[in-house]
Amino acid sequence: MTILDLQQVTKRFGTHQVLQAIDLQIQTPKILALVAPNGSGKSTLLNIITNLLKPDSGSVKVFDHSNTDAAIFKQMTYLQDNRVLFNDLSGAAHVRLVQDVYGLPQSEVDQLLARLDMTAYIHKKVAAYSLGMKQHLLFLLAILPKPKLLLLDEPLNGLDPVAVRTVQQILQELYQQGTTILFSSHNLAQIDQLTDQVIFLHGGQLVAASTLRQDKQHYDLVFTDVHPVQQYLAAQDLAASLKQPHKLSVDLSASQHQQLVTWTKANGIEILDEEHTTETTDELYFHVFGEDAHETL
């Protein structure tokens, strides 16, 4: 069974092509982060998956059913932004609505209320909630049904560090119990704490960070003779920087690295030391979106 299957999904607002032929297949449970600058179409994509918005073309299937089939909502929940909450209702009233629909025992609700430290304000009206309190409530409502597919639009927004940790722990537990989690976030360090599976939405298309990570790694290399290596790398169009008299920093794919090793051996140059690091999501973000992204963060 395919958990999520998006085929050639497109969406345009006026002349703005927000999503261009998006394909995304999730076959096994995972935690997947959706990352892009503001206004790139993350919410649009999540809204299309949950059938709140119709794509211009393409198809969306959830657990092998069309996303227009209401039955999928027994297994899929969605944390949207807090405008979906009712200001005149208490948090408890929101919880009761979800509890009734999904037939959830009170003991489970109480346990989560305590864990999320919400008992002090759950009976107050949402109108009196802070941003963080609303975010807690949205998160609680989304996880209560123990969905098999959990979609979260910026779930860590407005949460203090303790709450971030609790939410991260709960998400990890859900994942370990078989839930697939697709969430958007701008906080790249928090993403790295949760998952190494990241997809960037760039120019209306999805780019998997894993392909970029596998593609290039950052190498610090110490050579017996650095000058010929600099010439070799320049001839390959690879930008290397000299860090110390014998040390070069360069981004290389696995095959480029192998070729360099072969070339140094053939030319009597020894690699005295080698360290390589995988790019963090933060580094990859700037790699994908460039400096323009800085202004939109």
Ligand X SMILES: Nc1ncnc2c1ncn2[C@@H]1O[C@H](COP(=O)(O)OP(=O)(O)OP(=O)(O)O)[C@@H](O)[C@H]1O
d(CA 283, CA 288): 9
Q: Is 199 in the site for ligand X (CB under 6 A)?
A: no
Q: Which among 28, 19, 27 is positioned nearest to 49, based on CA atoms? A: 19
- Sequence-distant (≥ 6) Cβ neighbours of residue 115 within 8 angstroms: 166, 170
Is the Cβ of residue 34 or residue 144 nearer to ligand X in the bound state? 34
Closest Cα partner for 184 from 174, 198, 169, 165? 198
Which one of 31-39, 65-73, 88-96, 98-106 is the stretch in contact with ligand X (CB under 6 A)? Answer: 31-39
Give min distance, CB of 5 to ligand X, in A.
Answer: 21
* 40 forms part of the interface with ligand X (CB under 6 A): yes
66: alpha, beta or left? (left if phi > 0; alpha if psi -120 to 50): beta
The edge-to-edge listing of strands for the beta sheet with 217-223 is 240-244, 247-252, 217-223, 271-277
Q: Are 265 and 204 in contact (CB under 8 A)?
A: no
Which is closer to ligand X, CB of 113 or CB of 153? 153
Question: According to the binding rule CB under 6 A, does residue 180 interact with ligand X?
Answer: no
Contact between 43 and ligand X (CB under 6 A)? yes
Our finding on whether 44 is near ligand X (CB under 6 A) is yes
Give the span between the Cα atoms of 228 and 234, in whole angstroms. 10
Distance of CA 19 to the CA centre of its chain: 17
Whether the Cβ atoms of residue 78 and residue 151 lie closer than 8 Å to each other: yes
Candidate list 18, 79, 198, 269; residue touching ligand X; CB under 6 A? 18
By CB under 6 A, is residue 86 in contact with ligand X?
Answer: no
Contact window for ligand X (CB under 6 A) among 25-33, 39-47, 59-67, 131-139: 39-47
135 contributes a contact to ligand X by CB under 6 A: no
Binding to ligand X by residue 42, rule CB under 6 A?
A: yes
Options 11-19, 120-128, 132-140, 226-234: segment touching ligand X (CB under 6 A): 11-19
In angstroms, what CA-CA distances link 42 with 18, 48, 151, 189, 245? 9, 10, 11, 18, 46
- Within 201-260, the residues that bind ligand X by CB under 6 A are none
Provide CB contacts within 8 A for 280, sequence distance 6+.
188, 192
| Letter string b/e over residues 191-201, b meaning 16 or more CB atoms within 10 A of that residue's CB | beebbebbbbb
Under a CB-based contact definition with an 8 Å cutoff, are residues 189 and 282 in contact? Answer: yes
Tell whether residue 185 is a contact of ligand X (CB under 6 A): no
Amino acid at 74: K
Binding ligand X by CB under 6 A: which of 24, 31, 36, 209? 36
Does 297 help bind ligand X (rule: CB under 6 A)? Answer: no
Q: Of the ranges 13-21, 68-76, 132-140, 226-234, which one interacts with ligand X (CB under 6 A)?
A: 13-21
Q: Which is nearer to ligand X, 129 or 200 (CB)?
A: 200
The binding track of 89-118 with respect to ligand X, each residue x by CB under 6 A or -, is ------------------------------
Please report how close the Cβ of residue 194 comes to ligand X at its closest, in angstroms. 18
> Which residue stretch of 32-40, 65-73, 175-183, 248-256 sits at the interface with ligand X (rule: CB under 6 A)?
32-40
Residue ranges in contact with ligand X by CB under 6 A: 13, 16, 18, 36, 38-44
